[in-house]
Chains A and B, each alone.
Chain A
Amino acid sequence: MRLSCLALTVSMWTFGQSALAHEITAQIDLRAVVVDSPLDSFTEGGTGQLRFGGDDDGLRLGAVTIDAAGEIVDTVRYGVTARATGDGDRNPIDLTEAYLEWRPYPSSPLRWKTRVGAFYAPISLENRAVGWDSLYSISASAINTWMGEELRTIGLETSLTALGATAGRNFDVSIVASAYGWNDPAGILLFQRGWGIHDRQTALFGELPRPLVQDPSIPNIEFFDEVDGRYGYYAGVETKISSRHVLRALHYDNRGDTAEVEAREPTWLTRFDSFGARIELPLEITAIAQYMQGDTAVGASADGRGFIIVDLESWFVLLSRQHGRHRYTARYDRMNTETVRGARFFDSHQDADAWTAAYLFSFNDHWQLAAEAIRLSGSLRQRAEIGLSPNATERLLQLAARYSF
């Protein structure tokens, strides 16, 4: 009893400080969707690469997002994001990120930050808004869509930044490194369905149906699992110029043991290099380009590199202009996967591109209206495995009304 009184006092005190120390944002995103596609969406177990497939016309839930961030003690902050996507995932609402961040006050031009928990690796230059949404469109590029689907750092990340301001430089240079676990299945969705373009993030305890398996007794894909007992790592470098322009490079390796197949998901060995630049041009025009190249592999092999190896490559260029409360965005995505070993057992092969045009209008700090058109066209050779034509063009028009408070 005494303990609960103490707990109540502490929590009241904490809440009393809350106006100061905690920032909570909730956002609801409702969509009107028109689709022209011969495919079912991957969210329904199809091989469609957009979030909505052929039968999904109508009103849909974009997402409900609840985001909280704040101070625990002076230099330790937390960030928690929960999301509901309303498409029958295991939990109606689930966490997408949850972490603690330690930011000691810099005592020299070297600035140190450490995060522990579950969060996104610093790769995307688009997903800058609340709930890791894109600031520039509804759907992220293929690269950052894949980040939201299959990649999550569940572990520790630390970064060291050389702050330029005191030395009169107009740029900061950071190095970042991370060790993590629970990302052994990363690569399975890319292997089966290829790159996609949408805004659905896989929750930490979320699942997706298998695109090429039509037996309902086989369980869904679980993404964030530790199978082989090996930690993965990434290491990267970033430069920020005049608090405006950002350049990034990062190497990722989940160090998966491809021989480890006795689990719900076998271990995938996924490695890639990622490069990106975001440049702020005159007239409030933003240019973003990202490139990713690597491979993912599965199954035991004598050399340990995997029984099946699939090369992955994607890039995009985005131009966006802010004009008062209006934002106009155009993006071109290029997407490729190619099986370079074991293709006679399973030939994962995608050759596709996509155009995205978006218009966002912010009425005020609470209401935003977004319209987006996507045309994704190309081939996915593995569709033949389930009797579909490899070639398809998917078109999606979606209108989102977003309210946040």
Chain B
Amino acid sequence: MRLPPHHIGILLLGLALRTPAASAAELTVRVSDVQGRPAHNVVVVATPKAAVSAPARSAPLAEMDQVDRQFSPYVLAIRTGTPVLFANNDSVAHQVYSFSPPKRFELALYHGKPREPVVFDRPGIVTIGCNIHDNMVGYLYVTDAPWFGATGDDGVWRVHDLPPGEYELQVWTPLLPPHEWLQTQNISISDESTRASFKLKRALRPEPAPIKDKRVRDY
């Protein structure tokens, strides 16, 4: 398609307006397991090695749901200071707790929405359980890093606003033996879009299964 020159001008103006003053690059991180299959729900964190002008971000309310006697999502990455609402959309009550050092808490038995969210004010890994249903396990990955997320079904996590510079990339999943939970690599981000990939050393374990059959009572 050929565009008249004034249209190109408008298009360029539009692009210029979309791009912040400091140049920013796109980073695509692809995580696969040992057989090359996309690794879903793996936490990816990009930490700048030198001070960069990270965009000021608030820590909006995050939610970890409880469906079919399991936490959903299984892994949730959040910024330090984020309040998390542990909603319960099951027909049975739950009693959510953690004894992980970054955040110890207990939520007395409840249905629906709990009275208050839980604020995670220290970085680290928080393992979540239910005191009634021992099969329920979930993880919060609490980080100070400005850029983080989790891979989708295609094993890809993408970020659009990275200032150029040197970064450490980390991927984390609890579905590997603990000494392989974390993998890191260094990456240099230039003005163009950058790609990185991680290949995990083995196949991910299955996530803990939900219990869909309401007749099941042995937990």
Chain A residues close to B by CB (< 8 Å): 19-21, 23, 71, 74-75, 77, 103, 105-109, 111, 127-130, 133, 135, 161, 163, 165-170, 172, 240, 242-244, 280, 322, 362, 365, 368
Contacts and interface: CB of A to CB of B under 8 A. Distances in A.
B215 A168 contact: no
A168 B174 contact: yes
Interface string B171-190: 00011111001000000000
A243 B208 contact: yes
Interface of B: 70, 92-93, 95, 97, 99-100, 104, 106, 108-111, 127, 129, 131-132, 134-137, 139, 174-178, 181, 205-209, 213-218
B99 A108 contact: yes
B161 to A, nearest CB: 32
Contacts of B93: 20-21, 23, 71
Contacts of B135: 240, 243
B114 to A, nearest CB: 11
A362 B70 CA distance: 22
Contacts of B214: 365
Closest 9 CB pairs of A and B: A168-B178, A243-B208, A243-B135, A129-B215, A128-B218, A166-B127, A165-B137, A105-B97, A165-B127
Nearest to A104: B131
Main secondary structure, interface of B, reads loop
Given A161-B134, A166-B100, A170-B205, A129 B217 contact: yes
A294 B208 CA distance: 35
Nearest to B97: A105
B92 A23 contact: yes
B177 A75 contact: no
A168 B125 CA distance: 11
Contacts of B174: 165, 168
Given A20-B110, A129-B215, A242-B207, 17 more contacts: A19-B111, A20-B111, A103-B131, A105-B99, A106-B99, A106-B129, A127-B218, A128-B215, A135-B213, A135-B215, A161-B134, A165-B174, A166-B100, A166-B127, A167-B178, A168-B174, A170-B205
Contact of A168 (B92, B181, B207): B181
Given A129-B215, A168-B181, A365-B214, A106 B127 contact: no
A172 B110 contact: no
Contacts of A77: 132
A368 B214 CA distance: 12
